[in-house]
Structure formats: C-alpha cells, structure tokens
Chains A and B, each alone.
Chain A
Amino acid sequence: QKEVEQNSGPLSVPEGAIASLNCTYSDRGSQSFFWYRQYSGKSPELIMFIYSNGDKEDGRFTAQLNKASQYVSLLIRDSQPSDSATYLCAVHRQGSGYSTLTFGKGTMLLVSP
C-alpha cells in the first residue's frame, strides 16, 4: 500500500508568520512531488512541484524534498489570511504502462489576521 501521510491539522499561524506543512511518503520509487491548495468547495490548485533533493522557491512558497528521509515539506512565508485552505501533498510514480499520483488527506491551514 503506497501511502502519503499528512497531519490533518488545523495548523494555526498568525498573519505574517511562516507556515510549515509536512508530508511523508512510503514509496521509495516516487519520482515527483506536488503541493496543491484546495479552498473549501473548490477543486485543488497546483502550487508547485519538486523532484530533486533540496529546496525549490517560488515567491512566498518553498518546497523541500529529502528522498532519503522520504519527506517533503512546504513553507509559506509571510502567511496571509487568504492562504487559509487545505494543502494536499501528492506523490507521483511513473512506470511502464502506468502513472500514479497518490494524494495525502491534506492539512488544513488557518491564518489568523
């Protein structure tokens, strides 16, 4: 059973703080890692992806990947109330004739003004 684990939260942070969202995965063959944001009643929106160990920055967002520890995280700097949403971690594996994207259950982030 290939699993992606996330703390369900809610993670509460004050406006302006750094929010740190974490995800672990069980499949060592996973190749690409994604973070999606989902507002209540809406569909998921891709924030960023990462496939190499280390950090990847995009604006206020930084994704971090550690394949040895099977760990991926998302940092949100200068958190805003509009960042309040559920953040989904997703892990991709591609093989001969198949492509699977496994989602975690998501972490709810609440940013208070």
Chain B
Amino acid sequence: GAVVSQHPSRVICKSGTSVKIECRSLDFQATTMFWYRQFPKQSLMLMATSNEGSKATYEQGVEKDKFLINHASLTLSTLTVTSAHPEDSSFYICSAHRGAPPYEQYFGPGTRLTVT
C-alpha cells in the first residue's frame, strides 16, 4: 500500500483561532487528495476534493471560506479551519490516490481537533 501522513495527530485550540492540518503522500505523487470529516459514531463525510495546482471542489454544505484547502504540490495538501468553533471539533482525515486505476484511496491517520 501507499503511505499518507497527517500532522498534527491531535490539536486543541481556542474558539476563534485557526488551525492548519497537513496531509502528505510519502511514497507516491498524489494529483488528487480528499478531505473527510467524521463525527463520533458517524460515517465519513467528504468535505472537499483537492487537486494539485487548482482550486478545491467542495461538497454541498461545506463552507469554502471556513475550510481553506491548498494543494501546492503533488505530495502536500493542507486544510485550514478558520475561526474555529466548538462545533468544528471532529476527526479530520485526508486521503490520496495515485491517479491511476483502480483509484484506491489511501488514508492518513487522521487529526482529532478539539475546539474549546
């Protein structure tokens, strides 16, 4: 399989501050990365698709100005949660695929965000 890392693994921040989460593909180039959010005991929810060198595509209901995504290189995508609020507390997971069939996605270990 492929390796995807995320940093940080856990973060606690105060309400109103911004938090940046990094997602890296370590052993392959990822033209496309994905950002998911998962609340406790709920299913994965796709937030946005991040394409290298272009704007991210956000899913319906996800505020693009609140969740800023930058995919600056073929191995790095970042998600910035701006002006975080307690309701943004969740498990954020990124994934990436190689851009070739069968397009399997490899997930990072996730970032647990707690907003106080």
- A residues near B (Cβ < 8 Å) are 31-32, 34, 36, 41-46, 49, 51, 88, 90, 92, 94, 99, 101, 103-106
Chain B residues within 8 Å of A, Cβ to Cβ? 1, 32, 34, 43-44, 46, 91, 93, 97, 101-110
When distances are taken between beta carbons in the complex, the residues of chain B under 8 Å from A41 are: 91
Q: Which residues of B contact A88 (CB under 8 A)?
A: 43-44
Residues A43 and B102 in contact, CB atoms below 8 Å apart? no
A-B contact count (CB 8 A): 51
A-B contact pairs, 11 of them (CB 8 A): A32-B102, A34-B104, A43-B107, A43-B108, A44-B107, A88-B43, A90-B105, A99-B103, A101-B103, A103-B43, A106-B43
Pick the 7 closest A-B CB pairs, nearest first. A32-B102, A105-B43, A43-B110, A43-B107, A43-B93, A44-B107, A92-B103
Q: State whether A32 touches B109 (Cβ < 8 A).
A: no
A32 to B108, CA, bound (A): 21
Q: Interface on chain B toward A: helix, strand, loop, or mixed SS?
A: loop
- Chain A contact residues: helix, strand, loop or mixed: strand
Whole-angstrom distance between the alpha carbons of A69 and B95 in the complex?
Answer: 29
From residue A5, how far is it (CB to closest CB) to chain B in Å? 12
Cα–Cα distance between A91 and B108 once the two chains are bound (Å): 19
User: Which residues on A sit within 8 Å (CB–CB) of B101?
Assistant: 31-32, 51, 94
Point out the residues of chain A lying under 8 angstroms from B105, CB to CB: 34, 46, 90, 101
Closest to A6 in B: B43
Cβ distance A68 to chain B, nearest Cβ, rounded Å: 20
Residues in B with CB closer than 8 Å to A104 are 43
Cα(A51)–Cα(B100), bound, Å: 14
Inter-chain CA distance A51–B104, complex, in Å, is: 11
Which residues of B are found within 8 Å of A92, using beta-carbon distances?
102-104
Contact between B107 and A32 (Cβ–Cβ < 8 Å)?
no
